[in-house]
Amino acid sequence: MALIAVLWIVAALSIMVTGLVYTVRQQIQIAATQRDQVSGQAAGEAALALALQDIMANGTRITAISSTTVPYGGVEVAVEIAPLNGWISLNGAGAPLLADLLRIAGGLDQARAEALAKDIVEWRSSRPDIDPTTAGAAAMLPRRFEAPEDLLLVPGIDYPLYARIAPLVSADLFGNAQVNPQAAPPEVLAVLAQGNMGRVAQYVAQRNAGDPGDASGFVNASAAGGGSGAYRLRAKVPLDAGKILLLTRDVALGGGYSRGVPWRVLRTDRQIIGANAG
């Protein structure tokens, strides 16, 4: 009996030690992952800042999607720069363009899309809900979308719908009524092409070949396609285990100072993706 008791105690201690070792290993892995994410975040922010400094130093106005590689801390960070007018502006797009967005990307029927598009325009055109007798209420400017998440404040927009259309919109300060096709991602081009994916594929192929192509087939496309002074930058920072930290930031040059730099940060998003993700 004593021998059996000793064996049970040894077995219990073995299980406890094994569990403790497993827990310690997990904590080490979590700490290492967090360390990599922090260092990757720093490298991504530095790469974006260097890319913006280069834009301002050269005095160039980027009108189409461009890519560059920024070395920082021994890491080659791929940076993509695109004018923010390549996305649909929540503060400038008219009801017809918003209806196309809700119908093609959001999956709504025509009648529902048109009604909800009007609600979005009315929401941004109205003043905040305040007492009209409050001092300065008459001079208060209409509401604006400060972030894509503000769409959830519009009655009728639930989270599933928001999740479908959020990647295609921007809350820029300039309120562009039209979209620059040279800077638009394929999902936005699909809205402009009324869902004609063949037209989108043809245009993207021309654009990738260095030819701006004919954008006349896109509804609500800007003929000029000029830069807007606001950009969406994406930095891809390689991490361990083949993962990539994707840091996305919308900025406006000359739109006021933010965090001590000569540009204003409108939005920042960070996510970890696989090495083969887009």
What is residue 131's three-state secondary structure? coil
Q: How far apart are CA 197 and CA 89, in angstroms?
A: 22
Per-residue model confidence as pLDDT tens digits over 154-173: 999 999 999 999 999 998 87
All residue ranges of the chain with pLDDT < 70 are 28-37, 127-141, 223-228, 255-260, 275-278
pTM of the prediction?
A: 0.77
Q: Which residues partner with 250 through β-bridges?
A: 232, 267
C-alpha distances in Å from residue 124, one per residue of 89, 158, 193, 256: 12, 17, 26, 22
Res 138: pLDDT: 47
**What pLDDT was estimated at residue 35?**
67
State residue 225's pLDDT score: 53
Q: Report pLDDT for 86.
A: 92
Residue 44 φ then ψ, to 5°: -65, -45
269 backbone dihedrals φ, ψ, rounded to 5°: -140, 140
Q: What is the pLDDT of residue 264?
A: 84
Using one digit for the tens of pLDDT, what is the confidence trace for 91-117? 999 999 999 999 999 999 999 999 999
Angstrom distance (rounded) from CA 6 to CA 4: 5
- DSSP-assigned beta bridge partners for residue 142: none
Residue-wise pLDDT for 36-55, tens only, equals 667 788 888 999 999 988 88
Residue 14 CA neighbour count, 13 Å, CB half: 6
Q: What are the boundaries of each domain within the chain?
A: 93-208
Query: How far is Cα 168 from Cα 163, in angstroms, rounded to an integer?
Result: 10
